[in-house]
Structure 1
C-alpha cells in the first residue's frame, strides 16, 4: 500500500467501541456491508459511506486485507466528478472500514425499477430527464477510468450511485490497475462478478479481458436506460423476462441475438413516435434513441471490434452526428464538450445509416417476433453506413 494511503489509515486497538457510529444500512453483499456513518466526537457531524468487512482469523485474513487495501489505493488515485472519493480507511478489532463520499440517496438499479412502474406524469418525466443527462456523464467517467489505466470489471446499475441528481461509479472491489508498458488484457479466472452484465470474453477463463469488458457492461446499462426512456412502463422487466424466456438466462453475454431483437423493438417504438410530427412530451423517446444505438456499438460480442471509451466520447461530440449530440448537450456542465471538427487522429468507430435509409419494423410488437439478423456482423451491415473494421 502506498505511503499516501498509509497516511489515510487509522488503527484503533484499545477502544472499547467502534469509533464510527452507524446511522443506517445502505447495502450489503457476500463481502460485507455499506452503511452511512458519522465519526464519534466529530463536531462537524459530517456523514460518510463506509464499506465494512469483518476480518476473520485464518489463512485468508492477510489476503483479504491486501485486497481491501488495493481497493482503497485504486479509489485514492482517482479524482473525477462521477467517481466516489476516498476519505480514509481504518481497522478496529476485526473490522476493516473504507470511508468514502458521497452518501448515496439511491442507486441506478433502484432508480430504473421505480421508472419501470411510473407513468408519463410529471414525476416520471423528471426521472427520465435524469437518465438523459447521466448518459454523457457515465461515458466521461468511464473514459477517465480507462485513461487512468483502471479496469472496473463490475459495472452494473447497482454499482452506479445517485446523489442530488448526479451519478457516481462505485465498488472497485475487483478492479485492476493496468501496469505501464503492459497490454490491458489479463488471463485467468475473472473472480467475483455479476454474470448478468459481464462481457462474453469474461465468461471464458482462458480469454484475454481488457478495458473492452467495461464497455460491454456499460452498454448493458445503457440498453436498460434506453428501454426506460423509449418503451412504455414495465418495459425493463419485460426485457428481463424476454431474455430469460428465449435462452433460460438473463445474462447479456448469452443473449446476443435477443439483444439485437430488443434494439429492433425499441426502434419500433421510436419510429411510431418520431415519424409523425413530434410532440414536446416525446423528447425522451427522441433523444433516448441514442442509447440503444450506443449500446449496439458497445455490445459487439467481438471485443476487438467493440468501440472504446475515447471513441464513444468522440461520437457524442462530432457535429455531423447530430442524433448523438443530445447525449453531450444533456450532460452536466462539467461533462459537456464543445462540439468541434472530427479528429483525424481518432477516426470514428462507426456511423449509422441516415434515418431514411434504415429499415424499421412495422410495429414494436412485430419486432419481437421476427429475427432482425442472423448474427451481429449481419446487423452491422444492415444498420451501419461505415465501420472502422470494414
Structure 2
C-alpha cells in the first residue's frame, strides 16, 4: 500500500501466513518451480477439465501425474518461426507475475516447456469468473441460487456481494501498480479475467495472452472481448498501454457490476456500445447518472467520470481509486469494498488480531473493546495500552489522507461520532520524529477545534491515544458532504431512495449559517484555508464546517516563515487544481492563506448552492467553467454569475445578494468583503415568502450554549 501506516485484514493475513510452495512435479526444479524444461514428448499433467479456449491458447484444470496436486494450466502452442521471441516475452511476463502476492490475485506457482509448448501454472482452480456471473445472474432463480452457493454466500445475495468486489479489485490493482518493479500492470482487465475462488474475487491472466498473441502474429493481440474494455488511446496506438489504461478498464468492470447491483440486465449496458465501450463513454455515464438514487451511487458516478477521462493523465491512480471506494456505502450498509480490504491503522494491531482466520469479505462486524472510556479533553489524556481497544462499533469509512483516517463509529449510545485518527507519516525513517509529528498535528487540531463554540462547526467530543495513533472524536457524524448533497438534490425526488430532506430549506439557510461559521473562525484569528463543498457537511438539514487539517498546516508554516519550506496538499485525492482556491493560490500554492482566500472559496460554494436552487446542476456549472483553459476561469465565473442573476427570482433583495457574491469572487483579494459583511448581507436576504437565509439556531444566537 502507498501509505505504510495503514494495513488491511488481507495484508495482515498474507504477512502472517506466507503461501506454501506447490509441489507439482518430482523433477528437480528451481527454488520456486518456474521455467522447467521437460522432454518434448512428456506432459506432466492430466487435464481433467477444460476451462476455456481462444485464439491465444487454452486453459484447463490439471492434475499432476507425479504428485496429484491440482492446478490451473494455461497452455500456449508456439509457432516455430517465432519461438525465440515468444518464449523470451512469456518468460519475462511470468518473471514479474511470480513475484505477486495478494489476497485478490491468483497465485503463479510454476511454468514449464515441453518442446514448443509453454505452460503456466496458477492456483486455485476458480469456481467461475465474473463474466459468467454477469451473463447468467438474471436468467433464472435456480441459476442465481446456484451461483450464490458456488460463491459461498447463499444468504447474502450476489446483488449485494458484487459491489464489495470493487474495493477488493482496486486494492489488488494498487498493490500491483505500486510494486518496486517498473511498469507492472495488468493490461487485460475484463470480467473474464476476474475469478471467484469461493467468496474471494481475484485477478488472473495479466495480459500474458496478449503478449503471446502479439509475439506470434505481430498484431496488437486484442480479442473482441478485450477491445470492449480498452481505452481509445490504446486501440489507436498499442504503445500507450500503461497504468492509466488499467484504470479505464477497471472502471468499465465497475460499471457492469453496478448494472447488476441495480437489477439491470448486463446486455442493457453492452448495447450502449456494440463493440467498444470507448465509443460511447458519455452514454455510459448518462446511464449511471439515470440510475443514481442515493449518496453512494453519486460517489461512484463521480469516480467513474474521472476513471473514464479521455486524457489518460487525468485519471486517478489505483491507490486513489481504492481510497475513494472504501468510503462508499448504501443507507442499508451495502459496502463497495470487502471488509478484507477496508483500511486499518497499522499501529493499533493487537495479538488477538494476529490470530485471525482468513479474512472473510463480508464480515464488517467489530468486536467490543474494553470498558475504558475516551477522554473529553483536548489533550489525549486517555491512553489505551497494548492489547486494549476502544469500545466502538464501526459504521463506515469516511475519508483517507496521508496522515489520517476518518470513520463513523458509535459506542454505547445510538448517536454516531466522526473519529479521525492521526498516525505517523509513512515516509519518515526516524520513529521519534514520526511520533512527534503525529502528536503535534493531533494536539494542534484538537486545540483549534476546541476553540470553536458555534452551532455550524463540528464539535470536539473527545480524544484518546492508541499506541502511536491519536484519535479525535467529532460530532455530528454527517450524512452527506455538501458536494454529494448538491448532486443528489438534482435528482427527481420520486427516484431517490435516500432523501436529502428539505433541499430548498437546507440550501437557503446554509448561506447565512456558513457565513456565520466562517466569521467565527476569523474572529478566532484563524483561517480555514480549505473551504469547499467537500469540507462542508449536512446532518438533519443543518450545515457544518469541518476539515481543519489545513489550519494545522498553516500554524506550522507560520512557525517556519523565513525558511525554505514547500507545503504539499496531503488531502488532494486527485492531481488537479483546487477549483475553490483563488487565482493567487494556484500561482503560488505555498503562500500563507488569508481570510480573503476563505471568502473566495465560500463564494464558489455559494455559487454551486445557488445554481442548484435555481434548478440547474453543478455538472452544468462545471462544464461551463472548466471546459477551456484554466487562465480564463475568472471571466467564466463572472459570466456564470451573470447568467444566474438574470434568471433569479428566489432572493430579495436580489441586487445586494448578487453584488456581494460578485465581490466574494473578485480576482483582486483586497476587493473581497469580510466574513462579517457577507454575514450581514445574508441576514438581510429572504424569499418572496419571507423565508430567511439562516436557520432557527442562528436567528437567536450564532454561538453554542
Match of 1:170 in 2: 204
Alpha-carbon distance change, 168 to 88 in structure 1, aligned in 2, over 3 angstroms: same
C-alpha displacement of 1:117: 2.7
Match of 2:316 in 1: 307
Match of 1:37 in 2: 62
Contact 2:52 2:60 in 1 (8 A): yes
Alpha-carbon distance change, 215 to 358 in structure 1, aligned in 2, over 3 angstroms: farther
Q: Report matched runs for 1:242-253 at 5 Å.
A: 242-244=272-274, 250-253=275-278
Contact 1:22 1:36 in 2 (8 A): yes
Q: TM-score, normalised by structure 2?
A: 0.42
C-alpha displacement of 1:9: 2.4
Give the Cα separation in 2 of the matches to 1:379 and 1:102. 48
C-alpha displacement of 1:296: 2.7
Query: Which of 608, 617, 622 is 1:381 aligned to?
Result: 622
Match of 2:401 in 1: 343
Alpha-carbon distance change, 147 to 383 in structure 1, aligned in 2, over 3 angstroms: farther
Match of 1:371 in 2: none
C-alpha displacement of 1:51: 0.5
Match of 1:137 in 2: 168
Question: What SS does structure 1 have at the residue aligned with 2:137?
Answer: helix
C-alpha displacement of 1:121: 11
Contact 1:317 1:324 in 2 (8 A): no
Give the Cα separation in 2 of the matches to 1:5 and 1:379. 59
Match of 1:359 in 2: 490
Task: Please identify the structure whose Cα radius of gyration is greater.
Answer: 2
Query: Which of 186, 192, 195 is 2:222 aligned to?
Result: 192
C-alpha displacement of 1:355: 5.3
Aligned: 1:241 with 2:271? yes
Match of 1:373 in 2: none
Q: Report matched runs for 1:1-390 at 5 Å.
A: 8-13=34-39, 16-42=41-67, 45-58=68-81, 60-118=82-140, 123=145, 126-148=157-179, 149-174=183-208, 191-192=221-222, 194-205=226-237, 208-232=240-264, 234=265, 236-244=266-274, 250-267=275-292, 271=293, 291-317=300-326, 329=335, 331-338=337-344, 339=397, 342-343=400-401, 352-354=483-485, 358-360=489-491, 381=622
Alpha-carbon distance change, 122 to 33 in structure 1, aligned in 2, over 3 angstroms: closer
| Bigger relative CO (Cα 8 Å, ≥ 6 apart) | 1
Alpha-carbon distance change, 89 to 219 in structure 1, aligned in 2, over 3 angstroms: same
Alpha-carbon distance change, 200 to 357 in structure 1, aligned in 2, over 3 angstroms: same
Alpha-carbon distance change, 323 to 38 in structure 1, aligned in 2, over 3 angstroms: same
Question: What SS does structure 2 have at the residue aligned with 1:49?
Answer: strand
Q: Deviations over 1:64-88 (max 9, x none)?
A: 1112212211210111111111111
Contact 2:193 2:204 in 1 (8 A): yes
C-alpha displacement of 1:127: 1.6
Question: What SS does structure 2 have at the residue aligned with 1:354?
Answer: helix
Contact 1:190 1:202 in 2 (8 A): no
C-alpha displacement of 1:353: 2.9
Q: CA RMSD in A?
A: 3.9
Question: What SS does structure 1 have at the residue aligned with 2:50?
Answer: strand
Question: What SS does structure 2 have at the residue aligned with 1:153?
Answer: coil
Q: TM-score, normalised by structure 1?
A: 0.72
Give the Cα separation in 1 of the matches to 2:486 and 2:209. 39
Which ranges in structure 2 are unaligned for 5 or more consecutive residues? 1-28, 149-155, 211-217, 345-396, 405-480, 496-617, 634-705
Contact 1:150 1:175 in 2 (8 A): no
Which ranges in structure 1 are unaligned for 5 or more consecutive residues? 177-187, 245-249, 275-285, 365-376
Alpha-carbon distance change, 207 to 20 in structure 1, aligned in 2, over 3 angstroms: closer
Structure 1 range deviating more: 153-162 or 201-210: 201-210
Question: What SS does structure 2 have at the residue aligned with 1:219?
Answer: helix
Match of 1:180 in 2: none
Alpha-carbon distance change, 261 to 331 in structure 1, aligned in 2, over 3 angstroms: closer
Alpha-carbon distance change, 296 to 121 in structure 1, aligned in 2, over 3 angstroms: farther
Give the Cα separation in 2 of the matches to 1:324 and 1:352. 17
C-alpha displacement of 1:113: 0.8
Q: Deviations over 1:62-118 (max 9, x none)?
A: 111112212211210111111111111111233211111111111101111112435
Structure 1 range deviating more: 210-219 or 300-309: 300-309
Alpha-carbon distance change, 103 to 351 in structure 1, aligned in 2, over 3 angstroms: farther
Give the Cα separation in 1 of the matches to 2:105 and 2:250. 15
Give the Cα separation in 1 of the matches to 2:134 and 2:126. 15
Contact 1:136 1:330 in 2 (8 A): yes
How many correspondences in the alignment? 330
C-alpha displacement of 1:23: 0.5
